[in-house]
Amino acid sequence: MANTVPPQLFEDGYIAAQEVLAGRATAAAVRARLIEQFGLAARTVDGYWQCHIALLKGTKFRHTLQADGWRFNLTKFSEMGPVALMTALETFMEHIVYLKMKTGGNEPGLHRVHEEFVRVIQTAAVFNAAGIELDGQVVEAMAEPADVRSTRLRQASMRPEQQLVLSRVFKRNPYVIAEVLLRAAGICESCRGPAPFTRADGRPYLEVHHLIRLADGGDDTIENAIAVCPNCHRERHFGASYSQPADVVSPEDVGAA
């Protein structure tokens, strides 16, 4: 196939996909046009216009494309932004796994393309300071006059923009979490009150908090952890009685038990 598929099919297949998505052409019409234009089999030309739709919608894709065909389409998604590219890359990786299981090969060419666009994601994404930034913006908004806030609310979009963020979190020991929760037996080890509610499986809901944060070099041990209710957990991170700055979001919050 590497010698029979002209690069022009990448571009024309992409255009055909846009036509189908916009309702300006049917699948049968673009298939017939591409077959006539390139003199290739229906399954081949289908791959080069259907792949864009699969990458866009995150659906399974079972055609075989040249690595450069994938690169062409992923470049289009990179121009749409990191969120769209992330969806496309997840679909692409699922396709690579499918091919490896089907053929028994390693697909090094496709892996290189995937890694190329993972680097694009890493460059385009921002690191996870979103919580800190939002808190600062809330403080600023509260200080503005009521009429300014009202105007901004009227002008704001009701659908928030998506942003891809990269986070580094600690891979915590589940046995430490389990032991601390069992030790607490449903009682907050800070305020000594009962867990505020039970989970769907009947377990009392408490969160495991590290007394010395993992980010500050604390150990992931039962001696350095307590089970607390959500209210006490928030106080440990943001309360005036504790020394940790209020604008620091602890990585262990991500893995609350």
DSSP bridge pairs for 166: 127
- pLDDT exceeds cutoff 60 at 1: no
Which of the residue ranges 63-77, 140-154, 175-189, 232-246 would you say has the lowest mean pLDDT? 232-246
Residue 2 lies in a domain: no
Please report whether residue 1 resides in a domain. Answer: no
Last residue of a domain, one of 124, 150, 184: 124
Asked if residue 151 belongs to a domain, the reply is: yes
Q: Is 140 within a domain? A: yes
Q: Identify whether residues 19 and 69 lie together within a single domain.
A: yes
pLDDT digits (tens, 9 = 90+) for 220-255: 999 999 999 999 999 998 888 775 443 333 333 333
Distance in angstroms (rounded) separating the CA atoms of residues 72 and 47? 13
What average pLDDT does range 111-130 have in this prediction?
80
- The pLDDT score that the predictor gives to residue 240 is 81
Q: Within this chain, do residues 119 and 148 fall inside the same structural domain, yes or no?
A: no
The reply to whether 96 and 157 lie within a common domain is no
- Asked if 207 and 181 count as a contact pair (C-beta separation under 8 A), the reply is no
- Say which residue the tokens 């001696």 belong to: 223
The domain tally of the chain equals: 3
Place of tokens 């609310």: 153
Residue 129's pLDDT is 57
Residue 122 has pLDDT above 60, yes or no: yes
pLDDT of residue 257: 39
Q: Is 54 contained in some domain? A: yes
Residues 135, 117 share a domain: no
Average pLDDT over residues 66-83: 93
- pLDDT above 90: residue 144: no
Is the pLDDT score of 113 beyond 60?
yes
The reported pLDDT for the residue numbered 256 is 41
Specify the pLDDT at position 91: 93
Per-residue confidence at 49, pLDDT binned at 50, 70, 90?
very high
pLDDT level of residue 141 (50, 70, 90 thresholds):
confident
Nearest-angstrom CA–CA distance, 186 and 204: 5
Which one-letter amino acid corresponds to residue 131? G
Q: Are residues 52 and 152 in the same domain?
A: no
Q: How far apart are CA 88 and CA 194, in angstroms?
A: 46
Indicate whether 73 and 114 sit together in one domain. Answer: yes
Of 225, 163, 216, nearest in space to 190 by CA: 225
Domain around 239? 174-255
Tell me: do 114 and 17 sit in the same domain. yes
pLDDT exceeds cutoff 90 at 70: yes
For all residues of the chain together, what is the average pLDDT? Answer: 86
Question: Positive or negative CA dihedral for 150, 152, 155, 158?
Answer: negative
Neighbours of 215 (CB within 10 A): 16
> Does residue 3 carry a pLDDT above 60?
no
Q: Are 65 and 51 in contact (CB under 8 A)?
A: yes
User: Has residue 3 been placed in a domain?
Assistant: no
CATH at 195: 1.10.30
Ramachandran angles phi, psi of 256, nearest 5°: -55, 135
Judge whether 88 lies within some domain. yes
More confident residue, 159 or 28: 28
187: β partners: 194
The residue that leads in pLDDT, 132 or 33, is: 33
Give per-residue pLDDT as tens, 169-225: 778 888 999 999 999 999 999 999 999 999 988 999 999 999 998 877 889 999 999
SS (HEC) of the chain? CCCCCCCHHHHHHHHHHHHHHCCCCCHHHHHHHHHHHHCCCHHHHHHHHHHHHHHHHCCCCCCCCCHHHHHHHHHHHHHHCHHHHHHHHHHHHHHHHHHHHHHCCCCHHHHHHHHHHHHHHHHHCEECCHHHHHHHHHHHHHHCCHHHHHHHHHHCCCCCCCCCEECCCCCCCHHHHHHHHHHHCCECCCCCCECCCECCCCCECCEEEECCCHHHCCCCCHHHEEEECHHHHHHHHHCCCCCCCCCCCCHHHHHCC
Same domain, 160 and 202: no
Q: Report which of 94, 93, 95, 76 is spatially closest to residue 85, judged by C-alpha positions.
A: 76
Give residue-wise pLDDT tens across range 79-96. Answer: 998 888 988 999 999 999
Q: Are residues 143 and 182 in the same domain?
A: no
Judgement on whether residues 106 and 24 belong to the same structural domain of the protein:
yes
In a domain, 186, yes or no: yes
Residues 44 and 107 in one domain: yes
Residue 126's pLDDT is what?
Answer: 61
Cα–Cα dist 254/214, whole Å: 12
Q: 219 and 155, same structural domain?
A: no
Query: pLDDT grade, residue 159 (50/70/90)?
Result: confident
Q: Residue for token digits 């089970």? A: 227
